[in-house]
Structure 1
Amino acid sequence: MPAVQLNNIKKCYGALCVLDGINLSVEPRDVVAVIGQSGSGKSTMLRCINGLEQIQGGSIDIVGHRIEPGTHSLRSLRKEVGMVFQSYNLFPHLNVAENIMLAPRVVKNVPKQEAWETAQMVLKQVGLADKVGAYPDELSGGQQQRVAIARSLAMKPKVMLFDEVTSALDPQLTGEVLKTIAELAAAGMTMILVTHEMGFARQVANRTVFMYKGQIWEEGRSEDLFAAPKTPELRSFIAPNLK
């Protein structure tokens, strides 16, 4: 049974249809990279999967939850689906451990000691065990993004969504974050990643989806899709990135 299934998803803003009949199936342990030009609908698709945007047509089945037009109550879904954004969104007045402990304590009513132990575990997982008491402004951008990933992991999600998480980072810091994501992939986390890092998509994602004008234009095994793009749109998109 797929972990995520999108069935003929439509999302429009007035006359502009950002998603126009999206069908996508993601199996457990899949790592799916989503690539495409700005404005092709990549981030909107992720936001629909997590219920941050309401769809106007179709349905989304994700880890036992169904999202349809008019769906409003998504609290239980967000307990099982983690999302990491371009911006870190850490609370500046809370230290790293407190930032990570907040959602498990508030959303899942996890006891304080258990939340503390989970925070230590996920910080070790992202290579930041020594930053447990640091505050966000004492961390680099790459470290803050890894804390944001740890914060999502603390909720013990079944699926992780990443939306251009390295776009605001310089190349060295980008490498730190991509290494963390690659380790999650190797550990079997089901993930969908919107990314502009073509080399990373090719190496880490077992499948890649190319979006164009609100539609899935091509999809397949990453190795095959990058080696032999079938459409001129994909060929012209990836050519500058693979020299």
Structure 2
Amino acid sequence: MNAMNAIHETRATTAAPLVAFRDVRKSFGAFEVLKGIDLDIAPGEVVALIGRSGSGKSTALRCVNGLEKINGGTLTVCGRHLHESGTDLRDLRKDVGIVFQSYNLFPHLTVEQNVTLAPRKVHRISAADARTLAADVLAQVGLSDKAGNYPEQLSGGQQQRVAIARSLAMRPKLMLFDEVTSALDPELTGEVLRTIERLAASGMTMVLVTHEMSFASSVADKIVFMHQGRVWETGDGRMLSAPQTAELQQFVGNGL
């Protein structure tokens, strides 16, 4: 067992799930993408969603912060019932941060300004507190020396780490990562994954959609293999070396 897995095994909790899917369904027109998802995510848990393109994993992730509205079942996130009408999504997103494949940084703002824009607008923090906050979260992602830089002066990996810092600046209870390394070359992918690994070690609750199988195996407490809109297999990193179904065996064997 590696050190990261040892850290994760100390996180057993009897607390209520931070995220609870119950028979969740989602359709786009006549096409049903999620066909009855059941999944719990505990506080402090790191969950990796894996599967082929079109398996429903990114749709499931987007449902968690309300970017997609579910059509059936129940979904509770940070105590909020997303299946009920009238859920305040702006309030939800104070607790749920999300980082996408594209960085979406404002090119005319410095790194510090990109990171502190939302906290200053949403939480009305002072300029001095914003600088302190920026210094803290940029240190978390290893970019303390880039606060005054503009996005065009950074590598792709650095920009993605700024995007992570921007989400952390809202002090979320839950972080979502949607294939954040898929547009990066291997070297830059490594620096972003190391940042996420440090967040995992700090106890941050995270859900990752990823194709990085070795990373998922070493960092995630729970791996969820999705296939054709359903949760097909769930387990720790050992399930990737001992698949219980032909579908996961083929997926792992193809190196997807």
Fold match by TM threshold 0.5:
yes
Q: Name the residue aligned to 1:85.
A: 100
Q: Distance in 2 between matches of 1:222 and 1:162?
A: 19
Q: Does 1:231 align with 2:245?
A: yes
Q: Name the residue aligned to 1:215.
A: 230
Q: Distance in 2 between matches of 1:140 and 1:57?
A: 42
Query: Contact between 2:81 and 2:87, CA under 8 Å: does it hold in 1?
Result: no
**Deviation readout 1:112-153 (Å, 9 max, x if unpaired):** 211211111100110000000000000000000000000000
Q: Name the residue aligned to 2:113.
A: 98
Identity %: 59
Task: Return 104-113 or 19-28, whichever deviates more.
Answer: 104-113
Task: Return 169-178 or 8-17, whichever deviates more.
Answer: 8-17
1:240 counterpart letter in structure 2: N
Residue of 164, 172, 185 corresponding to 2:179? 164
Unaligned segments of structure 2, at least 5 residues: 1-15
TM, length-normalised to structure 2: 0.92
1:77 counterpart letter in structure 2: L
Q: Distance in 2 between matches of 1:27 and 1:144?
A: 29
Query: Contact between 2:109 and 2:150, CA under 8 Å: does it hold in 1?
Result: yes
Q: Distance in 1 between matches of 2:229 and 2:126?
A: 43
Unaligned segments of structure 1, at least 5 residues: none
2:55 counterpart letter in structure 1: S
Q: CA deviation at 1:7?
A: 1.1
Q: Distance in 1 between matches of 2:61 and 2:140?
A: 24
Q: CA deviation at 1:241?
A: 2.5
Residue of 101, 111, 129 corresponding to 1:114? 129
Query: Contact between 2:174 and 2:206, CA under 8 Å: does it hold in 1?
Result: yes
Q: Distance in 1 between matches of 2:75 and 2:18?
A: 10
Query: Contact between 2:51 and 2:57, CA under 8 Å: does it hold in 1?
Result: yes
Residue of 204, 210, 221 corresponding to 1:189? 204
Q: CA deviation at 1:72?
A: 5.0
Q: CA deviation at 1:94?
A: 0.4
Q: Aligned pair count?
A: 241
Query: Contact between 1:97 and 1:119, CA under 8 Å: does it hold in 2?
Result: yes
Q: CA deviation at 1:108?
A: 1.8
Q: Distance in 1 between matches of 2:195 and 2:131?
A: 21
Q: Distance in 2 between matches of 1:99 and 1:184?
A: 20
Cα RMSD, aligned residues only: 1.1
Q: 1:71 and 1:220, CA in 2 relative to 1: closer, same or farther beyond 3 A?
A: farther
**Deviation readout 1:22-78 (Å, 9 max, x if unpaired):** 110011111100000001111111110000111111121111111015455211110
TM, length-normalised to structure 1: 0.97
